[in-house]
Structure 1
Amino acid sequence: MAKFGAVSRRFLRKPNETMRLIISVTIGALFGYFIGISFPSVSITKLHLPSSRISYVEDKSSGLSTQALLNHAWENVKNKMKKNETKTSVDSKKIYVPTNPRGAESLPPGIIASESDLYLRRLWGNPTEDLPVKPKYLVTFTVGYAQKKNIDAAVKKFSQNFTILLFHYDGITSEWDEFEWSKRAIHVSAKKQTKWWYAKRFLHPDIVAPYDYVFIWDEDLGLEHFDPEEYIRLVRKHGLEISQPGLEPNRGLTWQMTKRLGDREVHKETKEKPGWCSDPHLPPCASFVEIMATVFSRDAWRCVWHMIQNDLVHGWGLDFALRKCVDPAHEKIGVVDSQWIVHQVVPSLGGQGESTNGKAPWQGVRERCRKEWGMFQNRLSDAERNYFASRLYSPPNSTAKGGV
């Protein structure tokens, strides 16, 4: 009877052990599952669980327990986490600043020089001592050597507050060294190009940023009655962002707006021929200056530079669009009457053309000027129409009925 009792107890113990093992395996599986979803980057193949350790269920004498297996798995997880932390630490030492200028995101912001200038510097000494005077204004002339006397007289009007920049369309540069001022001027040479071609390529707003005002002038201007410093004073006084000196009424006058008025310092509007101005605040009656002797503030030039087309070199039509860059344009664009100039109307640029189809060189140049004017107007109107259409309403002054 005792023997039977012992057998029955041994028989009853086995189901209990089996149940205990099943529970242990189930807990281990669940624990492994939760580890897997918590750390998806941990590969199960990297846990390295030998088959001998999995067989502990069948071989109780192996000495392994569920706890030992779980400890081993947890150690692998911790090692993986440590490696990830190390990688993150290394990545955090790399520089990436999305607010930096495009292409410079990998640089520390403190080293970035996003703007430049046209100041000439020495090849020796301390850089901080290079510039005894920092010019505040920039004046550019697009020149040929044939106009050297006129340019010599014009440049001598500008003090050391002005950086002098000559764009040479005839390729002649070193000959200008006969003038003392030429040694402090900057010379850029490219044959048969216009001032707007030069301006688009060499007067980027970030290059001319140190200058309060930028003069972009032709070579055939008489400056006998012009004082640059006084001109700047009047521009500031009257709040002009885009301006030009008044023109002597008897020569080189195309538009009434640019005609010098002898009884005032500045004017910002005029009367033109009947039907020429749809609005008294629009060109050519207001918000208008010509492109022969234009002066831009730093902010206005930043806008105008972006509007200059890369392939349209004569600039025709640009003067009617300058108003897009200041607001209100009829108050910030004007003519300085008390500082006036003479347009000598020297057709030097026309001589840089080539004779085609029996036409004189100047005729081909003039035809291209008119063609560019139409192309620019079409591009501008198309760009404005597309912009407003994308916002589902009609542009200002549109003749369309009921919106887009």
Structure 2
Amino acid sequence: MGTLHRNGGAKKSSESARLILVTILGVLFGFFIGFSFPTLSLRKINLSSGIISSLDVISDRSKFSRTEPSESTVKIYVPTNPRGAESLPPGIIEAESDFFLRRLWGEPSEDVKKKPKYLVTFTVGLDQKSNIDKGVKKFSQDFQILLFHYDGQTSEWDDLEWSKNAIHISVRRQTKWWYAKRFLHPDIVAAYEYIFMWDEDLGVDHFNGDKYIQLVKKHGLEISQPGLEPNNGLTWQMTKRRGDREVHKDTEEKPGWCTDPHLPPCAAFVEIMAPVFSREAWRCVWHMLQNDLVHGWGLDFALRRCVEPAHEKIGVVDSQWIVHQVIPSLGNQGQSENGKAPWEGVRARCRNEWNMFQKRLADADKAYTSQMGKG
């Protein structure tokens, strides 16, 4: 009996020792695994479509420990946010803005009593002050006025009552397309249904801003311009005013000018002196503006790319018409060379830019077509 007791005790002692050894080996193995893989990284855990954000859980090697778990970083990542704002919660983002004037005191909600619906821009010099004054008065309070001053003179406009509520941007010797690319980003002018991009030398005796907007909406025009007085200076046949209608969208040009009746200059065409863009059309046009090409020649032939169908959504408003006075005010801001007038150098660059723009479009079309063919 005593022998049996000793054998049983020895057996139990052997099993206990084996269990202890296995436990120790397990602990050492676990420690080895933990030491070899100390960093846990989970990238962009995509949640259901109802939850628009993703979480990027980033754990730094030096911070990830049993004693300091609260120091790990959690970063919000929202791919649908505007570029640069992916790390912000969507509720705090104000991607769009406007030119509404705000007070320096009081409640923000009471700042703007009446919000203009449309934006009118003129690129101006002081010599055309009287003409611009007449033009601005053709627009009601539904229109926000923005002046781009290419001669640096802004305080000289303070005596005009409307000037106090206008936006003044002054950079010397620049064109309206230079200003547009830098100050009229689509997200900045998103509050306005239509954007007028006008020159300073326009006669507006037969124009009314409110009536013009009514006709643009009535005829579904995304890109438009007022008709031009047909007996004043050189102009395209398409943009000449017709006295027997409200709006026209096509025309007949000289033989050989139009390869397709739905394409410029016989349709889908307005000139760059006084174009008017819908908010949606401007978002496309702004992206097409070249950063280094500032005169806009050739742009009028490409505007059709921003609306569809272009021959139906681009047109000329005949019953609200203007006169192009052809005053080379900005052209005279150029530099005289070899005895030539300043405007001659400006026109030479205009022609050069037109060729460059056409080539860039052709090259871009060719590259895109080639890429799509490979796909």
TM-score, normalization: structure 2?
A: 0.85
Q: Residue in 1 aligned with 2:89? A: 108
Amino acid paired to 2:118:
Y
Q: Residue in 1 aligned with 2:192? A: 211
Q: Residue in 2 aligned with 1:164? A: 145
Question: 1:145-294 counterparts in 2 under 5 A?
Answer: 145-294=126-275
CA distance in 1, matches of 2:151, 2:65: 70
CA distance in 1, matches of 2:109, 2:9: 94
State, as a whole percentage, how many aligned pairs show the same letter: 68
Amino acid paired to 2:278:
S
Q: Residue in 2 aligned with 1:49? A: none
Deviation at 1:105, TM superposition (A): 3.0
Distance 1:207 1:13, change over 3 A: closer
Q: Residue in 2 aligned with 1:301? A: 282
Deviation at 1:289, TM superposition (A): 0.4
CA distance in 2, matches of 1:12, 1:121: 93
Deviation at 1:39, TM superposition (A): 9.1
Deviations 1:178-234 (A, max 9, x none): 221111111111111101011111111111111000000000101101111111011
Which ranges of structure 1 fall in alignment gaps of 5 or more residues? 44-78, 394-403
CA distance in 2, matches of 1:23, 1:109: 56
Amino acid paired to 2:230:
P
Larger Rg: 1
Amino acid paired to 2:211:
E
Q: How many matched pairs?
A: 350
Deviation at 1:103, TM superposition (A): 2.4
Distance 1:15 1:113, change over 3 A: closer
Q: Residue in 1 aligned with 2:21? A: 25
In the alignment, is residue 330 of structure 1 matched against residue 311 of structure 2?
yes
Work out which of the residue numbers 368, 381, 387 in structure 1 matches 2:362: 381
Amino acid paired to 1:359:
K
Amino acid paired to 2:256:
G
Deviation at 1:389, TM superposition (A): 1.3
CA distance in 2, matches of 1:12, 1:186: 100
CA distance in 2, matches of 1:177, 1:18: 103
CA distance in 2, matches of 1:264, 1:102: 46
Deviation at 1:254, TM superposition (A): 2.1
Amino acid paired to 1:260:
R
Deviation at 1:111, TM superposition (A): 2.0
Kept in 2, the 8 Å contact 1:253–1:259? The answer is no
CA distance in 2, matches of 1:80, 1:136: 57
Q: Residue in 2 aligned with 1:125? A: 106
CA distance in 2, matches of 1:238, 1:196: 27
Kept in 2, the 8 Å contact 1:248–1:260? The answer is yes
Work out which of the residue numbers 347, 351, 361 in structure 1 matches 2:332: 351
**Which deviates more, 241-250 or 372-381?**
372-381
Kept in 2, the 8 Å contact 1:36–1:42? The answer is no
In the alignment, is residue 97 of structure 1 matched against residue 70 of structure 2?
no
Distance 1:179 1:87, change over 3 A: closer
Structure number with higher helix proportion: 1
Amino acid paired to 2:113:
P
Amino acid paired to 1:25:
L
CA distance in 2, matches of 1:139, 1:355: 32
Deviations 1:285-339 (A, max 9, x none): 1111000000000000011001101110100111011011101111100001111
SS at match of 2:158: helix
Q: Residue in 2 aligned with 1:364? A: 345
SS at match of 1:288: coil
Deviations 1:40-79 (A, max 9, x none): 6469xxxxxxxxxxxxxxxxxxxxxxxxxxxxxxxxxxx9
Q: Residue in 1 aligned with 2:58? A: none
Amino acid paired to 1:214:
I
CA distance in 1, matches of 2:325, 2:21: 102
Kept in 2, the 8 Å contact 1:135–1:160? The answer is yes
Amino acid paired to 2:249:
K
Amino acid paired to 1:29:
L
Kept in 2, the 8 Å contact 1:247–1:253? The answer is no
**Which deviates more, 13-22 or 374-383?**
13-22
Distance 1:97 1:262, change over 3 A: same
Deviation at 1:110, TM superposition (A): 2.0
Kept in 2, the 8 Å contact 1:157–1:228? The answer is yes
TM-score, normalization: structure 1?
A: 0.79
**Which deviates more, 124-133 or 161-170?**
124-133
SS at match of 1:233: helix
SS at match of 2:321: strand
Distance 1:225 1:106, change over 3 A: same
Deviation at 1:350, TM superposition (A): 1.6
Distance 1:182 1:83, change over 3 A: closer
Q: Residue in 2 aligned with 1:315? A: 296
Structure number with higher strand proportion: 2
CA distance in 2, matches of 1:239, 1:132: 29
CA distance in 2, matches of 1:325, 1:346: 30
